[in-house]
């Protein structure tokens, strides 16, 4: 068993991996006493792909899932290939009107999973993360993302500020979300090659990241709350971009 194996827990996350990335699945473990018919369906699908299915006790699943609610199933998968700056440029060139999501320091795996789910739903070209100060794409992220972590390109870069500068030279405009900004998100033109930049929990964007943004914008909030959870703010920003882009045709 390799140290860099990925462990995917939960029915929806497992179903997504078996549908979109079955070639990476090394083994499926299902709780011996489980009676959920969906588990039987997933076991049958795995066997159809030639994947070994093993019946185990719940204590084994508890241990392998790392505390994630496994719902009676855990997949052991080969480590995913890490995408880097070169892959990002290739994705950019292949997209007529790229939409990027940049997450500068999102360290809570639940928030990262929720951001990936919104990104997949909004048709984002790629999600860009720094290699440091960012949650790993682990079992919690897979489960929270409801399978989106397997459907969207997640690119980790060594130097985020330098990557943003390279992307700007390639024609991407960046809008950073900042609660102190004067401009409204809804006044931004998000129809072209655009990157939405979100800061991490608590501290927000780092200084160098903020300086690379072409525009800073805020989400207007007439209520009494001063800020939104990063995953909620990400969803609002991405779906505003999607709304504008669909209206533009």
User: Which residue ranges make up the annotated binding site for S-adenosyl-L-methionine?
Assistant: 199, 219, 228
Alpha-carbon 133 to chain mean position: 15
Residue closest to 27 by CA, chosen among 12, 5, 11, 10:
5
CA atoms within 13 A on the CB side of 136: 8
Q: Which residues are 36's β-sheet partners?
A: none
Per the CB < 8 A criterion, the answer to whether 40 and 100 are in contact is no
Q: Say how many Å lie between the first and final Cα of the chain, rounded.
A: 49
Residue 106 three-state SS: coil
Residues annotated in a binding site: 199, 219, 228
Cα angle 50, 51, 52 (rounded to 5 degrees) comes to 120
Q: How does DSSP classify residue 188?
A: S
Strand pairing report for 52-56 and 126-130:
unpaired
Exposed / middle / buried, residue 151 (Cβ in 10 Å: 0-12, 13-18, 19+): middle
Q: How does DSSP classify residue 216?
A: E
Per the CB < 8 A criterion, the answer to whether 216 and 183 are in contact is yes
């Amino acid at each position: 068993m390799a140290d860099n194996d990925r462990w995917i827990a939960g029915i929806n996350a497992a179903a997504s991996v078996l549908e979109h990335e079955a070639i990476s699945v090394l083994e499926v473990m299902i709780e011996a006493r489980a009676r959920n018919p969906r588990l039987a369906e997933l076991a049958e699908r795995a066997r159809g792909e030639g994947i070994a299915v093993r019946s185990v006790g719940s204590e084994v699943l508890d241990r392998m899932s790392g505390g994630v609610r496994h719902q009676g199933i855990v997949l052991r998968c080969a480590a995913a290939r890490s995408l880097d700056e070169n892959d990002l440029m290739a994705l950019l060139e292949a997209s007529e009107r790229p939409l990027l999501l940049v997450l500068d320091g999102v360290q809570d795996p639940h928030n990262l999973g929720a951001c990936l789910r919104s990104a997949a739903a909004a048709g984002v070209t790629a999600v860009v993360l720094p290699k440091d100060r960012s949650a790993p794409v682990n079992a919690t992220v897979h489960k929270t993302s409801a399978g989106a972590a397997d459907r969207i390109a997640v690119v980790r870069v060594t130097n985020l500020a330098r990557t943003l500068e390279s992307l700007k030279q390639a024609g991407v405009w960046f809008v950073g979300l900042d609660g102190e900004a004067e401009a409204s998100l809804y006044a931004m033109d998000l129809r072209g090659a655009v990157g939405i930049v979100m800061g991490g929990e608590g501290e927000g964007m780092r200084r160098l990241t903020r300086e690379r943004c072409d525009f800073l914008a805020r989400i207007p909030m007439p209520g009494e709350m001063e800020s939104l959870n990063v995953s909620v703010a990400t969803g609002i920003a991405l779906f505003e971009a999607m709304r504008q882009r669909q209206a533009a045709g």
